[in-house]
Amino acid sequence: MKNKKLNKWMWKWHFLSGIIALPFIVLLSTTGIIYLFKDTYEQKDVLSYKEVAVTSKSLSYQQQWEVAKTQTEQHLSSMVIPKADNQATEFVSGMFETHHSLYIDPYKGVATGIIETRSTDMYKVRKLHGELLLGSYGTKIIELIGSWMVVLIITGLYVWWPKDSWRLKSYFIPRIKSGRRTFFRDAHAITGFWLSALFLLILAGGLPWTDVFGGGFKWIQEQTQTGYPTTWNSYSQNNYAQGTEMVSLDAIVEKANSLQLPGTVSVSFPKSEKGVFSVQNTYYKDLSKQSKYHFDPYSGKLLKEHTWADVGILMQGRMWVMAFHQGKFGQWNWILMLITSFLLLAMSLSAIISYCLRKRKNSLGVPKVPKKFSLGIGMCIIIGFLCLLLPLFGLSVIIILIFEQLRTYRKSVTLN
């Protein structure tokens, strides 16, 4: 049997958090659906730059690198090794927002085009999805909404759970003959029940991108040494003879090809005289097959090899949930994310419709909690844990408590 007073308290906070969060959830699910089609939407432009006519002889990768340097003012950081003879060679500069892809025709030695991440339509969709086009302030708003979505799921499960027993079909089929409000409420609740674990997994994949939670997660990784090893992204060597000529980029590409790495393989260029050539592959279908190799730029000798096993467990988990969030694990993952996003949108809209049908004039319809109700130790522990896990949620709880205390104080002053 459920605690009736606790159920009313849960229902109140599910209601209040839903009123605040639902408009944002509708936006997040809509932009998420759009962004899932990023590769398809941008494929036309990419192919127009990437596909080239094959002629008798191509320039060396070293020569293409030299050509690329003359075609952009950006500092080139890496090159993606083409997978076919009819593909232009992609030279990359910058990361994330400053990411540029410059394509060089290996036969004509000219640039076929350049894609600047900031200038794409999907970049704007991603910024709307992740920060409401408001920069760091928007990121924190999204993080706060994501934190309260966890509360929505937990309270929603408790409120929906049957008081004693239900018929089996009530777990699957909304009641149609009990009126529109009941139908939309059931549609919202049943969908939320069956997808609650999946929603939490998707939220886990989105929170690492945030400022406060994401920053704290990175700090824990550093303190526990469960992230990337320090030599994964930054490696330098001192045993080199000054004035010695570097090996050609073609020699490094040959070594990279001999490794037979799956997925997209790229070569990062030395950042200084002490820098190295680095070869790595991106393979979302099986993250465990990703690796990184550092080569001496003067002798071509392998200096350091990293496999997925060298990556800390927190980083492995983080990369997995983030890739899952983006539907990167293959068609099954993409389809699952698309369906889930549509169901989240439908679930949110059904909640809004149910509320509008329930709401009385001149009233928000906030559920009432018995005056004598008090939280038990167990609930206080759960709330405290969530406050520590989700700092912005914790901050909002403190603000709510202060507001409630002020409201109670004003009432007592007025009565006296």
Cα 300 from Cα 282, distance rounded (Å): 22
Task: Return the pLDDT at 95.
Answer: 86
Helix, strand, coil percent content, the chain, rounded in steps of 5? 60, 10, 30
The answer to whether 263 and 282 have CB atoms below 8 angstroms apart is yes
Three-state SS at 217: helix
The answer to whether 131 and 117 have CB atoms below 8 angstroms apart is no
Per-residue confidence band for 168, with pLDDT thresholds at 50, 70 and 90: low
Q: What pTM did the predictor assign?
A: 0.89
Q: What is the pLDDT of residues 256-302, one digit of tens each?
A: 999 999 999 999 999 888 899 999 999 999 999 999 999 999 989 99
Task: Return the pLDDT at 166.
Answer: 61
Per-residue confidence band for 98, with pLDDT thresholds at 50, 70 and 90: confident
Q: What is the mean pLDDT of the chain?
A: 90
Cα 183 from Cα 186, distance rounded (Å): 5
Average pLDDT estimate for 87-102: 92
Q: How many CA atoms lie within 13 A of 230 on its CB side?
A: 5
Task: Return the pLDDT at 165.
Answer: 61
**Which of these ranges, 48-52, 310-314, 324-328, 363-367, has the smallest mean pLDDT?**
363-367
Per-residue confidence band for 17, with pLDDT thresholds at 50, 70 and 90: confident
Average pLDDT estimate for 109-115: 94
Task: Return the pLDDT at 245.
Answer: 85
Q: Which residue has the higher pLDDT, 393 or 370?
A: 393
| Positions of E strands within 45-132 | 76-80, 89-93, 100-104, 111-116
Task: Return the pLDDT at 169.
Answer: 65
**Which of these ranges, 162-166, 208-212, 354-358, has the smallest mean pLDDT?**
162-166
Q: What is the dihedral of CA 82, 83, 88, 90, to 10 degrees?
A: -40
Task: Return the pLDDT at 242.
Answer: 64
The answer to whether 315 and 199 have CB atoms below 8 angstroms apart is no
Bridge pairing between strands 302-307 and 100-104: unpaired
Q: Is the pLDDT of residue 177 over 90?
A: no
Q: Is the pLDDT of residue 174 over 80?
A: no
Average pLDDT estimate for 381-395: 93
Instruction: Please report, for the chain, how many H helices and E strands are present, in that order.
Output: 13, 8
Q: Which residue has the higher pLDDT, 65 or 172?
A: 65
Q: Is the pLDDT of residue 22 over 60?
A: yes
Q: Is the pLDDT of residue 138 over 90?
A: yes
Average pLDDT estimate for 74-103: 93
Q: Is the pLDDT of residue 308 over 90?
A: yes
Average pLDDT estimate for 357-377: 78
Domains and CATH numbers, the chain: 4-36+127-218+330-415 (no CATH), 228-311 (3.10.450)
CB atoms within 10 A of CB 279: 24
Please choose, from the candidates 322, 15, 288, 284, the residue with its C-alpha nearest in 3D space to the C-alpha of residue 152: 15
Cα 194 from Cα 40, distance rounded (Å): 30
Q: Is the pLDDT of residue 157 over 60?
A: yes
Per-residue confidence band for 170, with pLDDT thresholds at 50, 70 and 90: low
Q: What is the pLDDT of residues 238-255, one digit of tens each?
A: 776 666 788 999 999 999
Task: Return the pLDDT at 355.
Answer: 85
Q: What is the dihedral of CA 244, 250, 254, 257, to 10 degrees?
A: 130
Task: Return the pLDDT at 1.
Answer: 57
Average pLDDT estimate for 182-195: 87
